[in-house]
Structure 1
Amino acid sequence: MKNHHKEFKYVDYLWDEDKAKKLNDDQVALFLYRSNILGADLRITNYGGGNTSCKTIEKDPLTNEDVEVMWVKGSGGDIGTLTRSGIAGLYTDRLRDLKKVYKGLHDEDRMVGLFNHCIYDLDSKAPSIDTPLHGLLPFAHIDHLHPDALIAVAAAKDSEKVTKEIWGDTMGWVPWQRPGFDLGLQLEKCLADNPGIRGIVLGSHGLFTWGDTSYECYMNSLEVIETASEYIENKIKEKGAVFGGQKIKSLAKEARLEKAAQLMPLLRGLSSSENRMIGHFSDSDVVLEFINSHDLDRLAPLGTSCPDHFLRTKIQPLVLTLGTDENLEDTKAVLAKLEPAFETYRQEYADYYNTCKKDNSPAMRDPNPVIIIYPGVGMFSFAKNKQTTRVASEFYINAINVMRGAEAITAYTSLPRQEAFDIEYWLLEEAKLSRMPKEQPLSRKVALITGAGGGIGKAIADKLAAEGANIVLTDIDEASLKVAQATYKRDVSTYAVCNVTSADSIKEAYKKACLDFGGVDIIVHSAGLAISKPIEDTTEKDWDLLQNVLVKGQFELAKLGVEVMRKQNLGGNFISIASKNGLVSGPNNVGYGTAKAAQQHMSRLLAAELAPDKIRVNIVNPDGVIVGSKIWEGAWAEGRAKAYGIAVEELPAHYAKRNLLNEIIYPEDIANGVFSLVAILDKTTGNIVNVDGGMANAFVR
């Protein structure tokens, strides 16, 4: 076999010999390494798609005899991130012995339960439905992948003939069949009928390849995918036009993003008619080529081919009839077009369900679209969290690549609707869904926090993210935002540099929230500063700065945030981080105390006005947050120490002693106050929660 990575044009050669040598010929470690580098190239397989395996000789713990064990990706895993804990180890002979008890296609679900009787490694992940596909083949290392190019061949009209044309007698082909034990038998038979083949194409599904070593298997997979990719590109060159050529011209990049940001909250609201969803937007070249083409109207309704694709994208997308010149600021007019389109989609999905369902089918799932196409602008996706919606978008891009290739080869064919339904509503798939962990209190919610580069704002962001929210960090200091964002896992956060004294800057922050997550549900105004001076020393500049950041900033943040929330029609939360000083009259505090009092009363006014929209507005009043708070860096601490006639270093003890509980108040305590208002006290609005250890003079009367 070839082994020079420069020969690959359509796949990434990522095998690092030095890394492989460090694995000391540990076949399971090499299989995991191969899996991870295969999963790193989305053209080879997408998140959660495909599976890989290897077979080794181990000591049977009961007999001490040598036995063959197959190590294979477990149910629900992802080869790109696969670790030892994500695989199953099974006795190969026991798995093959299941042939003696298999009763036919009606027996598939029972067979999955029997896989557990073949377990060798007691720490195994639950074996997946694809386990027999690997176990009934004799090879030491096997890859089952979903490369775009191979699914294009598998989904093309006359797929078997095309397979023969590309690889001659070196590749096998089996027609579409739902994964399971019988498909494993079909692969075994295909190999027996065609000894010496290097792999098998699964009709409408994907690819099986193998090798004696992990490296040989990896190279075999890459070479087969490369050959198919090259064949397709040559066919496209012959045809000259993809998807029938361009029908609609895209808007310029900035105009696309502006349209997408305006539309996102409306789409999110409509997509959330049953369950609140998180959004994602893509306007990549691949997406635009498809959605602007003459063939969009013909191909989109056909639906996807590969089961992994439509399980995540639904059987077909919703194509919007909005023009690129549509005035999206006229919300009523846009909704008048969108609402009937969504209703038609939901009805068609219900018809699909009712036509294909069986007596024991699970109840119909959410009938809203996952993928929404806006020709000339881009593609939106909506799902339960950011990772799921991003992956759905990636899978539909894979589906676009498949349609592109299949159309160039002969013509694209999708799975029959009944076959698609039998996969989507498979009882085993339903069982997998039922095993999913319970969602967190703030999952499906998007929170925008000002002043989140550090201190109290960052603590609030941390708490909301830990409870399942997507977070939009905003601050005037980009460096601190980058440091803050680096503390979160992928798909949790985004950030926007935002000066709360500028309405335009706030608008851009909301635009980022809409583009990255679909909208906003929770707004926390934590940005602030403190100036402690006697009246004679308080300048007009001091006064204006406090009013602009604390009061005007809150007003603009609320005004523009309400606009997004009303488009979504999902209610929402606005939290003002005010201060005890808005309630208590103290010395040297006229500018700060007045601004904080204005924040508090503005919140009460907003609570009264926004209640019909189910937008709740509440206040958290911190006091004496010294440790970990940015507000206590510099002159403010000196001013308060002077007011109380003590040294700066005595402040923490002073503040702890003066509250009833004698407790030091931390940023995390303020974050808990915010969380209680947005997640627990869900029938509270216009309220003040004091987080100050108990200050009698700040009790709300």
Structure 2
Amino acid sequence: MTARQHDTVGELLARSHRLGADPRNTNYAGGNTSAKGLAADPVTGQDTELLWVKGSGGDLGTLTGEGLAALRLDRLRALKGVYPGVGREDEMVAAFDHCLHGKGGAAPSIDTAMHGLLDAPHVDHLHPDSGIALACAADGEKLTRDCFGDSVVWVPWRRPGFQLGLDIAAVKEDNPGAVGCVLGGHGITAWGDSSDECERNSLHIIGTAARFLAERGRPEPFGPVLEGFGPLPRQERRERAAALAPLIRGLASADRPQIGHFDDSGAVLDFLSREEHQRLAALGTSCPDHFLRTKVSPLVLDLPAAAPLEEAEARLRELHEEYREGYRAYYERHAGPDSPPMRGADPAVVLVPGVGMFSFGKDKQTARVAGEFYLNAINVMHGAEAVSSYSPIPESEKFRIEYWELEEAKLRRMPPPRPLATRVALVTGAASGIGRAIAHRLSAEGACVVVADRNTQSAEEVAAELGGPDKAVAAAVDVTSEEEIAAAFRAAALAFGGVDLVVNNAGISLSRPLLETSADDWDTQHRIMARGSFLASREGARVMKAQGLGGDIVYIASKNGVFAGPDNIAYGAAKADQAHQVRLLAAELGELGIRVNGVNPDGVVRGSGIFAGGWGAQRAAVYGVPEEKLGEFYAQRTLLKREVLPEHVANAVFALTGGDLSHTTGLHIPVDAGVPAAFLR
């Protein structure tokens, strides 16, 4: 890369990061930026003019050089001579590949033509709420003229593509004093002779539109507050959201499993409290970037906030069936012979007055972004209704975007999901040792993980190791407490929509002979392992039943549940209790599609919180070996002569839950390197 090329790309990335860091400018993964400049042709060594533009699927705020597509401008602009017209403009996307410079970088997006055909060195295309509010207002063209005069020009709605690029290029040529345009039903585009000028023009359009809406807008554009639809108090609101989340997640997963996200921000709650929220929600979302993730419209519960929970649940089920029928009808109204198959009729956004917004996707990030986009839509509706009336693009055009073959091709390019994608796991005792290894393995296989442990700081550290809130959350849990167990499952419901997989791992051990074992020793062992597992399984089964998606419960029991080792009465008896809970619950929960299995490890010394807490020293004394040799001692008494590590137990948990053992329940898997006395009979 030459110094000149480096400067152009560096400026482009810096501008993209600044614009993408502020949600007032554009939504996550929305919009694109570009720059033109000279670089050496790798074949001739001669300078050639290039376009660097954000590639398909990237995000401005985190854009890297690898996320840019690099194209030769002479070849890109020569495509005008072979353009077959609007009816076949999708063919032009494949033609972009023939314009790439060298290896080309990222895949060019559908908006590449907008940037390449425009006669400006720097171009920004963004989706700001203020700009889309004008773009989706019934008299958006007049409002754009009132707001900007001749400096920003209205471009009527056209689906993104080659023709839109030609349209914008013509607008710029016909309006030499203009710095950008408002794209009807879509967003804004700005340009400049330098990167700084382009950024200033983008921010000028966004800020001017926002001030125009604020100064010209009428108060309460969503209408007055509806009696009974105001926000519930925060604690009550969160408890009701956690109670509803598993049911709503189950409904949203009728066609395929989904991960959930919950938002009870002020803008969402205010919208749902207002008289016009039902009418506006029915009109659907606005910008194409929005409804690709939110679907054309949300499901809205039509009951006041304080309606009895049972009534709300029953009504949600009815509305879900109505939504599915309506979505199928929408598909059938617009689908043609070449349309991709319907992808699913469940809502991606569910709105509950007084409580908040539930959004769904294939993973937590997708679910969260769907919610963020619907919040963008609320802001757009607010702005449009403040100065005019909200008028998004027609339903037929939304269908053309949603079921666009180019979008379908993008979906086909996505890598296959990991085995535990869309599953939510709650692991007790997950802050160290076996539990931490299990949390890491389940997360690596695609699960969202609730790291439940009484050591809050360590639990938060493990959740951070797993990737933070889009991957894992921490929950402070003493498993002997019904209240804390219930709170952990509520946290899971608010973070991810529910729970599909419970791993009962929390444990403690005291090694003493019978005559030295106190009643407190016995009670402590049984409260944590027998009672704690029972409580977690019971709460997990409640959530799984509400979801209707089946699930898994796994007990980390022990070979000591079947092997009568010395000086181990309280621990061994508690583990035997856990082992029989597996059988009892497998028999009881099978009709709900919930599988219950166990793992029986031998002593796991390395990385174990139990062994580090004194159990190791006690067992070493029983066997007459140095504590640092205890792992070796355990290994030598096995058939395979191998030490059992936390990762080996985690492997067994994944084997039970990863999909290949879908017809297995009531099983205990030994992970002990072969201890004949612990063979299951």
TM-score by length of 2: 0.97
Query: Partners in 1 of 2:315 and 2:674 — Cα distance?
Result: 54
1:171 aligns with 2:171: no
Q: CA deviation at 1:346?
A: 0.7
**1:279-324: CA deviations, max 9, x gaps?**
1111101111111111112111101121001111000111112332
**1:507-557: CA deviations, max 9, x gaps?**
000000111111100000111111101112211211111010000101111
1:264 aligns with 2:245: yes
Indicate if the aligned counterparts of 2:460 and 2:473 stay in contact, CA closer than 8 A: no
1:682 aligns with 2:662: yes
Indicate if the aligned counterparts of 1:88 and 1:121 stay in contact, CA closer than 8 A: no
Query: Partners in 2 of 1:186 and 1:285 — Cα distance?
Result: 39
Q: Helix, strand or coil for the counterpart of 1:217?
A: helix
Q: Helix, strand or coil for the counterpart of 1:486?
A: helix
> Structure 1 pair 401/334, CA: closer, same or farther in 2 (3 Å)?
closer
1:150-161 equivalence runs, <5 A: 150-161=131-142
For residue 468 of structure 1, what is the aligned residue in structure 2? 446
Query: Partners in 2 of 1:166 and 1:338 — Cα distance?
Result: 42
Indicate if the aligned counterparts of 1:171 and 1:197 stay in contact, CA closer than 8 A: yes
Indicate if the aligned counterparts of 2:132 and 2:380 stay in contact, CA closer than 8 A: yes
For residue 635 of structure 2, what is the aligned residue in structure 1? 656
For residue 335 of structure 2, what is the aligned residue in structure 1? 357
For residue 616 of structure 2, what is the aligned residue in structure 1? 637
Which of 180, 193, 196 matches 1:212? 193
Which of 186, 190, 199 matches 2:167? 186
Q: CA deviation at 1:353?
A: 0.8
Which of 283, 304, 307 matches 1:326? 307
Q: Helix, strand or coil for the counterpart of 2:189?
A: strand
For residue 377 of structure 1, what is the aligned residue in structure 2? 355
**1:74-118: CA deviations, max 9, x gaps?**
111111221111111000111111110112101211111111111
Amino acid at match of 1:570: L
Relative to structure 2, which stretch is displaced further, 240-249 or 85-94? 240-249
Q: Helix, strand or coil for the counterpart of 1:121?
A: strand
1:452 aligns with 2:433: no
Q: CA deviation at 1:240?
A: 2.3
For residue 16 of structure 1, what is the aligned residue in structure 2? none
Which of 287, 293, 297 matches 1:312? 293
Indicate if the aligned counterparts of 2:557 and 2:600 stay in contact, CA closer than 8 A: yes
Query: Partners in 1 of 2:597 and 2:4 — Cα distance?
Result: 56
Amino acid at match of 1:700: L
Which of 551, 559, 578 matches 2:557? 578
For residue 4 of structure 1, what is the aligned residue in structure 2? none
For residue 48 of structure 2, what is the aligned residue in structure 1? 67
Query: Partners in 2 of 1:186 and 1:197 — Cα distance?
Result: 14
Identity between Structure 1 and Structure 2 (%): 50
Q: CA deviation at 1:63?
A: 2.4
Which of 560, 563, 568 matches 2:542? 563
Q: Helix, strand or coil for the counterpart of 1:208?
A: strand
Q: CA deviation at 1:245?
A: 2.4
Which of 31, 55, 76 matches 2:36? 55
1:137 aligns with 2:118: yes
Indicate if the aligned counterparts of 1:72 and 1:88 stay in contact, CA closer than 8 A: yes
For residue 472 of structure 2, what is the aligned residue in structure 1? 493
Amino acid at match of 1:516: A
For residue 205 of structure 2, what is the aligned residue in structure 1? 224
Root-mean-square deviation (Å)? 1.4
Indicate if the aligned counterparts of 2:244 and 2:313 stay in contact, CA closer than 8 A: no
Indicate if the aligned counterparts of 1:317 and 1:372 stay in contact, CA closer than 8 A: yes
Q: Helix, strand or coil for the counterpart of 1:423?
A: helix
Query: Partners in 2 of 1:128 and 1:28 — Cα distance?
Result: 18
For residue 541 of structure 1, what is the aligned residue in structure 2? 520
Query: Partners in 2 of 1:139 and 1:271 — Cα distance?
Result: 45
Q: CA deviation at 1:336?
A: 3.1
Amino acid at match of 1:388: T
Q: Helix, strand or coil for the counterpart of 2:119?
A: coil
Query: Partners in 1 of 2:18 and 2:587 — Cα distance?
Result: 56
Q: CA deviation at 1:24?
A: 11
Amino acid at match of 2:259: I
1:272-671 equivalence runs, <5 A: 272-328=253-309, 330=310, 334-490=312-468, 491-671=470-650
Q: Helix, strand or coil for the counterpart of 1:26?
A: helix
Equivalent pairs, count: 675
Q: Helix, strand or coil for the counterpart of 1:90?
A: strand
Relative to structure 2, which stretch is displaced further, 485-494 or 333-342? 333-342
> Structure 1 pair 203/334, CA: closer, same or farther in 2 (3 Å)?
closer
Query: Partners in 2 of 1:23 and 1:534 — Cα distance?
Result: 78
Which of 250, 253, 256 matches 2:231? 250
Indicate if the aligned counterparts of 1:85 and 1:123 stay in contact, CA closer than 8 A: no
Q: Helix, strand or coil for the counterpart of 2:30?
A: coil
Structure 1: give runs of 5+ residues left out of the alignment. 1-21
Indicate if the aligned counterparts of 2:381 and 2:390 stay in contact, CA closer than 8 A: yes
Structure 2: give runs of 5+ residues left out of the alignment. none
Indicate if the aligned counterparts of 1:578 and 1:600 stay in contact, CA closer than 8 A: yes
Query: Partners in 2 of 1:143 and 1:23 — Cα distance?
Result: 21
Query: Partners in 2 of 1:23 and 1:436 — Cα distance?
Result: 35
Which of 152, 175, 178 matches 1:197? 178
For residue 17 of structure 1, what is the aligned residue in structure 2? none
Query: Partners in 1 of 2:231 and 2:325 — Cα distance?
Result: 30
